[in-house]
Amino acid sequence: MQPVNGWPICACLLIILSFMGCSTSGQPGSSENKMTAVQAEKILIVYLSRTKNTKAVAEIIQKQTGGRLVALELQNPYPQDYQTTVDQVARENASGFLPPLATVIDSIEKYEMIFLGFPTWGMQLPPPVKSFLKQYNLKGKTIAPFNTNAGYGIGSTFEEVKNLASGTRVLDGFSTRGGVERDGVLFVMEGDRLIQVQDQVTSWIQNFKMP
């Protein structure tokens, strides 16, 4: 068993969640303090990552929770060229097109909590993540969104997760600065930056644990 910044990694980690102040998609907020225990085998970590920064955050979460890690892949991957991809995503957002996923998640009904990670694209939720939220029945589950971005923030991404994941409980999300692909700055989650993000993720997770 190896520690991550002082926190043990354990496949049988039990996360005690307090849902006081969390939002529930499509439902009024509740002041009730609702608690639940989520075992590692009931935790799913789904992420989309182009420059591997969101992937690095997903791996930090996996090490700290013991959940199952799944990357979202497309049947028809986006082009390598940055501007070509930007233009394609803009067209998809304008038309509402949801790109088909190559990733298939079996037995998704067994998971109680889903960490959902993505970059900010055009200040919106990336179309492949919308595909995931539309494709799977997530009602009754808890979603913890996490995001990397080029410094412009989360845009409408977290709000879109709440809107698309009806019937779920969406926790306050985590966001951190990643690379700036437009400027040729790609993977940045290494060295001191990685250590900093590990600490931030730990604090985020602890915020929805019971003391």
Q: pTM of this prediction?
A: 0.84
CATH number at residue 83: 3.40.50.360
Tell me what the mean pLDDT of segment 147-170 comes to: 96
Residue with tokens 């439902």: 27
Q: Provide the number of structural domains found in the chain.
A: 1
Which of 81-109 are b and which e, b meaning 16 or more Cβ less than 10 Å from the residue's Cβ? Answer: ebeebbebbeebbeeeebbebebebeebe
**Mapped to the 3 state alphabet, what secondary structure does 143-184 carry?**
EEEEEEECCCCCCCHHHHHHHHCCCCEECCCEEEECCEHHHC
Residue 168 pLDDT grade (very low, low, confident, very high; cuts 50, 70, 90): very high
In tens, the pLDDT along 14-63 reads 444 433 334 444 443 333 333 346 899 999 999 999 999 999 999 999 99
Q: Per-residue pLDDT tens for 88-104?
A: 999 999 999 999 999 99
96 torsion bin: left (phi>0), alpha (psi -120 to 50), beta (else): left
Segment 102-136, tens digit of pLDDT: 999 999 999 999 999 999 999 999 999 999 999 99
Report angle CA 84, 117, 193 to the nearest 5 degrees: 90
pLDDT at site 37: 61
- For residues 145-171, one letter each, b for 16 or more C-beta atoms within 10 angstroms of the residue's C-beta and e for the rest, the string is bbbbbbeeebbebbebbbebbeebbbb
Is residue 18 helix, strand or coil?
strand
Q: What is the pLDDT of residue 115?
A: 98
The whole-angstrom separation of Cα 201 and Cα 92 is 31
Please say whether the beta carbons of 157 and 147 come within 8 A.
yes
Residue numbers of the domain that contains 94 = 3-207
| Tally of residues, the chain | 211
Contacts of 159 (CB under 8 A, 6+ apart): none
